[in-house]
């Protein structure tokens, strides 16, 4: 973190930025808030540091109920700050004035003079994400009022969008597969924040498709994007309003490249917090393409070198031309 007064790096153990072990503000890279010893907010996902080299940790959703109860016990009993936490846990949304109100507590008195700088830094680190809004008549972007805090969102996707819209007839899919058994929640949260900065959240049946580990986005009037986290995979779907045969290949290729570049940047950031990165260091994920039924997957390297692939579950034959829709830059 940079000290806004002298443009130098700040030692987390001095009085400029507060050490997370000193009962005050924590490093924003951890997506945590306040030490529970102070009856304030704690890390809503888990209480552990993640080693991005092995991506191993306990799935926080396995014990979501007990975790949620535990953290609510550390909230203020009443007042505006508690109302803010309640809104965030339900929708993941916070306004600038609400976060400034939280920072007015005594635990944050060292950072309050730099609140605007730190707020901008949280956006830069994808811990906060701007929610884009556009004028429906002019198409112009409107001022940002709400910000998304993905690490605070606990509501799972309970809509019918995946069953009714993201179907084998309308969608194509690929997966970013990570090493280990689960993706670190902080990494997934940063990805969802980054997606919000690139595209607009889709509304479906009167609800925004924004949930824990899941986001639906509108690309244009006929193309939608879905990103969801399942175990050690980040699944990317492109959904056409009527048929996946009408998906524009250049759009699919561009979305894939944007997601790959974003995941590459986020992964390198987390690796750099634990180990020095060399130019030859491999990324912690690889790409796999989904079969026509969106369930089986073939690694990208095998997909390019195999003339025909038969998915193991459905016994459907796929030729390597099927993957061209994701790779128009290599086809043209």
Per the CB < 8 A criterion, the answer to whether 59 and 184 are in contact is no
pLDDT value at position 77? 80
Say what the pTM is: 0.69
Return the higher-pLDDT residue of 60 and 172.
Answer: 172
- Percent pLDDT > 70 in the chain is 72
Residue 19 reports pLDDT greater than 60 = no
pLDDT in tens, 112-146: 899 999 988 888 777 787 766 666 677 777 777 78
pLDDT value at position 94? 86
Q: Cα–Cα distance between 298 and 167 in angstroms, integer? A: 19
pLDDT value at position 79? 84
Residue 73 reports pLDDT greater than 50 = yes
Backbone angles phi, psi at 94, to 5 degrees: -145, 150
Q: In whole numbers, what is the pLDDT of the chain averaged over residues? A: 77
pLDDT value at position 185? 81
Among 62-66, 86-90, 211-215, the minimum mean pLDDT is found in 62-66
Residue 23 reports pLDDT greater than 60 = no
Q: Cα–Cα distance between 229 and 189 in angstroms, integer? A: 10
Return the higher-pLDDT residue of 234 and 329.
Answer: 234
Q: DSSP string spanning 167-223?
A: -TTTEEEEEEEESSSS--HHHHHHHHHHHHHHSEEPEETTEE-EETTEEEEE-SSSE
Residue 17 reports pLDDT greater than 50 = no
Question: Model confidence at 242, in pLDDT bands (50, 70, 90)?
Answer: very high
Question: Model confidence at 105, in pLDDT bands (50, 70, 90)?
Answer: confident
Residue 199 reports pLDDT greater than 50 = yes
């Amino acid at each position: 973190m940079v000290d806004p007064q002298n443009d130098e790096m700040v030692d987390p153990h001095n009085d400029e930025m507060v050490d997370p072990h000193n009962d005050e503000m924590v490093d924003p890279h951890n997506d945590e808030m306040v030490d529970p010893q102070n009856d304030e907010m704690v890390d809503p996902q888990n209480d552990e540091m993640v080693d991005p080299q092995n991506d191993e940790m306990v799935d926080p959703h396995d014990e979501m109920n007990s975790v949620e109860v535990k953290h609510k016990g550390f909230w203020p009993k009443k007042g505006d700050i508690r109302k803010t936490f309640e809104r965030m846990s339900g929708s993941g949304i916070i306004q600038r004035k609400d976060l400034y109100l939280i920072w007015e507590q005594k635990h944050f008195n060292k950072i309050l003079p730099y609140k605007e700088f730190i707020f901008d830094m949280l956006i830069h680190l994808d811990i906060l994400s701007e929610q884009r809004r556009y004028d429906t008549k002019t198409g112009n972007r409107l001022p940002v009022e709400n910000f998304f805090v993905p690490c605070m969102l606990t509501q799972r996707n309970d809509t019918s969008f995946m069953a009714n819209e993201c179907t084998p007839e309308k969608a194509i899919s690929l997966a970013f597969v990570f090493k280990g058994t689960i993706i670190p929640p902080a990494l997934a949260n940063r990805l969802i924040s980054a997606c919000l900065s690139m595209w607009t959240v889709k509304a479906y049946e009167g609800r925004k498709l924004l949930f824990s580990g899941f986001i639906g986005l509108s690309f244009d009037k006929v193309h939608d994007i879905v990103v969801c986290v399942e175990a050690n995979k980040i699944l990317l779907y492109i959904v056409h309003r009527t048929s996946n045969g009408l998906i524009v290949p250049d759009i699919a290729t561009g979305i894939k490249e944007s997601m790959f570049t974003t995941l590459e940047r986020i992964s390198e950031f987390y690796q750099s917090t634990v180990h020095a990165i060399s130019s030859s260091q491999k990324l912690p994920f690889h790409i796999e393409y989904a079969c026509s039924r969106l369930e089986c997957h073939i690694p990208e390297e095998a997909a390019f070198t195999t003339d025909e692939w038969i998915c193991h579950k459905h016994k459907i034959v796929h030729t390597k031309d099927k993957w061209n829709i994701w790779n128009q830059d290599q086809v043209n």
